[in-house]
Amino acid sequence: MKLIVGLGNPDDKYKKTFHNLGFMAVEKTAEKLNVEFLKNKCRALIAETKVGGEKVILAKPQTYMNLSGESVIELVNFYKIEPKDVIVVYDDFDLSKGSVRIRESGSAGTHNGMRNIVEKIGTAFPRVRIGFKPKEKIMIPLIDLVLSGIKEEDRAEFDKAIESAGNALYDFAKGETIQNIMQKYNHNA
């Protein structure tokens, strides 16, 4: 069984913000798998399917970003999933705008949602990070930047990154090893 988690905030006002890049990527994966987020379980919107005979759950925690781990630990416990079979996709200010980086495990870095997940399930799970650090110096607090909308002139670059992240998650759902997925997608980072 696989659990694919996209991080974001549930309210419509956050829909097209940097902090919802994880939601956007997992929605792209749902399109590829031809499933919809119809159930609400463990404080997450979920979509379920089978890929190659294995159950795959896609989740968008509804606990707001900083408490994402609350929902993830409930899903892990409910479905009895090992952390290595969980993959999390999220926005990352530490990566340049539009880049995608996949890791087998690691720390939470500066991301509060990931910090909460790591606190709940440890660090031994793969993750897909979508960068949004602008080239120019930012003049607003980071909290305001993550909750701001993606500029129209940057939309194509982020659409490409979301597509790439969605493809990586799709490959994970199909059972590809995280090492193969890293080799396939990290060259764009």
Q: What is the pLDDT of residues 85-136, one digit of tens each?
A: 999 999 999 999 999 999 999 998 889 999 999 999 999 999 999 999 988 8
The CATH number of whichever domain residue 73 belongs to comes to 3.40.50.1470
| Domain extent at residue 64 | 2-188
H or E, element range at 89 = strand 86-96
Indicate the pLDDT class of residue 148, thresholds 50, 70 and 90.
confident
**29-58 per-residue burial string, b: 16 or more CB within 10 A, e: under 16:** bbeebebebeeeebbbbbbbeeeeeeebbb
Say whether 19 is catalytic. Answer: yes
Residue 80 scores a pLDDT above 60: yes
Domain count, the chain: 1
**148-185 per-residue burial string, b: 16 or more CB within 10 A, e: under 16:** eebeeebeeebeebbebbbbbbbbbbeeeebeebbeeb
Question: Which member of 2, 19, 101, 120 is catalytic?
Answer: 19
Instruction: Give the max Cα distance, the chain.
Output: 50
